[in-house]
Amino acid sequence: MGRPARESGVLLHVTSLPSGRLGDDARAFVDWLREAGQRWWQILPVTPPDEHHSPYRSMSAFAGWEGLLEDPQAPVTGRERDAFRRRHAFWIDGWERFAGGDAVDDQVRFAREWDALRAYARERGVRIMGDLPIFVAWGGADHREHPELFNDALVTGCPPDAFTADGQLWGNPVYDWPALWRRGYRWWVERFRRTMQLHDTVRVDHFRGFVAGWGVPAGDATARGGRWRRGPGQALFDAVAREVPDLALVAENLGVITPPVEALRRHLGLPGMAVLQFAFDGRPDNEHHPDHITEDTVAYPGTHDNQTVQGWWSDASGDQRAAVVAAARARDITDPEPWWMFTRLALESPARLAVIAAQDIIGLGDEARMNSPGTEDGNWTWRMPRRSLGDRHAERLLAATARAGRA
């Protein structure tokens, strides 16, 4: 067998399109990706966001968000409604009880528009990478419909570290993994089945939580009182793989990652992630540095949780900037703009896939940042100005992609 293909793509959530919706802007972006030689469009979750616009605390792990619809008033027939109910019997009744109103009609409309976009993209050689948050929202449809699958004595978070003395208190419900095991992980099987119906591959957020997660007593004001609690490990993925044969995943393995987490990722054959903004801290063994990125990786200059490259560069020390320039020169990369240096470093890396945030192709500052972890306000609202990605960006990205052997 030959070596896996080297590919690349662009990260831009649907809500960051100029209109913030499906339709003409989504199709135009697919056309731009094709012109730029890109094979992947990476998005964030398309499920309904919370009151702070976060798609990572969704009211449903299964429903598509009606706020993305190009035509939210399109007529729906009884035949379409009945067919959707049959196909999605596991979750649609619970979502209808939670959302009320035209919940089923909205899901029919979403399926209609989403399937049309995917077909349009597929015809142009572009595939869609989705994003699966490990947790659901407290009080959301899944939490209400399946209370037996959660341990309501605990909430999610992460432990104290060098950046947060109290840790982070996320507040999602914690899974009762033994209860899920007794039910054959059916809820997770159906969730992955639904996810793969919507995407060509999926980034699994907080993958380390399947090995161990930080559970905090409900009611605590901080995450300091939490402790690590064992997750399901390989057993869950074995159960899913038996019923979802087209499973294609990327493991988000950022942060404090232990050997058991990496052992599970490698056993499952899942690529991990490398983020170049984390690479230049002076540690000689930094796994994000271009010298250490491996083929079984997706390489990013930055993700939706990072500063833009321009923002990072503005805050970087002289030593950090010099280290970036040295890494670029070692690869014969001489672009003067820092965002293009990072883009080229990701593309030239050994990683099987390189993904560049749209903000970093344009060269925007932190005014275009998507999310600042640990904060609730001011996130998830950035929209790309119309016509900000043009022919010159496509030509430059195509040339860099071709040079890196990814076109």
Q: Which residues are catalytic?
A: 205, 252, 305
β-bridge partners, 10:
41, 356
- What span, in angstroms and rounded, lies between the C-alpha atoms of 31 and 290? 30
Residue 153 CA to residue 314 CA, distance in Å, equals 43
Amino acid 26 reads A
**Three-class HEC string of 275-332:** EHHHCCCCCCCCCCCCCCCCCCEEEECCCCCCCCHHHHHHHCCHHHHHHHHHHHHCCC
Buried b (16+ CB within 10 A) or exposed e, 5-16: ebbbbbbbbbbb
**Residue 228: how many CB atoms within 10 A of its CB?**
12
259-268 vs 234-243: helix axis angle to the nearest 10? 20
* Helix ranges restricted to H, 176-308: 177-182, 186-198, 234-243, 259-268
Task: Decide if 145 contacts 61 (C-beta within 8 A).
Answer: no
Residues counted in the chain:
407
Residues 382, 369 contacting (CB under 8 angstroms): yes
DSSP secondary structure code for residue 226 in this structure: -
Q: Are the CB atoms for 71 and 139 separated by under 8 Å?
A: no
Helix axes 92-99, 78-87, angle to 10 degrees: 120
d(CA 149, CA 393): 48
